[in-house]
Amino acid sequence: MPSPTFAPEPPYAHGSPARTAVVLCNLGTPDEPTAPALRRYLGEFLSDPRVVEIPRLVWLPILHGVILRVRPAKSAAKYASIWTPEGSPLKVWTEKQAKLLGGHLGERGHQVQVRYAMRYGNPSIASVLDALKAEGATRILLLPAYPQYSGTTTASVIDAVTAWSARQRHVPELRFVNRYHDHPGYIAALARSVRAHWQAHGQAEQLVMSFHGVPERTLHLGDPYHCECLKTGRLLAQALGLDAKGYRVTFQSRFGKAKWLEPYTEPTLVAMAQQGVKSVQLICPGFTGDCIETLEEIDMEARAAFTQAGGERFEYIACLNDRPEWIRALTDIAEQHLQGWPTREPVNAQALDDSRQRALAQGARR
């Protein structure tokens, strides 16, 4: 076997202070809403064997010979419809969440560096880890933006970090947050966002909770994603006081001809409208920041499908984004997984002793 090639290491200095970092990892986004940018992004995304579990010899010719010739232009048009002056909504929200997370951890006394990274696109996980290591980070917590664990998402982040680690001579301590689908703070933040919408707009006949779909075969192969989505939905319904008739859990973003987790979101909305349901409100609990799947697929395409089938009132409830209760919950999750790492400023024993002596002296004078 060939010898491994390691990345250049900064000079090691004995006694250097240990530093801790948190990396908030999201799925990714193209750099701009253009066909060339989408071709690069989709090429990386759809080449991941975690995402498409088809033998490489079969899949890659289809990907490069058909999909990457046709889909980028169509996808670019969809991204253009939701692009903001600041860039991709997913990147905007992820960056803002990372900054707010860093601020909240600092307010709680933690001295940590907080960055964000994308599994596909920029900034890549490898580039962010390189930068943190150059800045002296020796302990790194990877916090995926996916509340529900899936091999297609969470495990892919772990793969990317593992691939980066294989190129390092001096590997930092690493921790991973695998899931927080039932975290009380996460559920409470979702419930509060729904209640705020109800207070402003009233309550619809049905609340639909739409999660990103995955092929059904992943469930039978042991992926816990389906079960964790259902648990999130159940806990959210309980927090809102809804019975089984007041909400539905569905799955969106089906790709290809294989059977995916059911029921599918858009066909469910169409069927509801055809059965006489006039008003629905839809939330996407699995997405912590608004993105192409929520803003275009749900708030545009699903809305049109519902109204064209006879529905009258379709309301999309925005993702958690930068809601204060969500940032507090995210901080709780990070703080929980940072336990045991000395992230607080060390106490100066001499200064503490001097302070105690001054307090005793003041007490004696009284």
Calpha distance 229→236 (Å, rounded): 11
Tell me: is residue 293 an annotated ligand-binding position: yes
- Asked if 280 contacts 306 with a C-beta cutoff of 8 angstroms, the reply is yes
Tell me: is residue 197 an annotated ligand-binding position: no
Which residue numbers belong to the known binding site for Fe(2+)? 212, 293
Which residue numbers belong to the known binding site? 212, 293
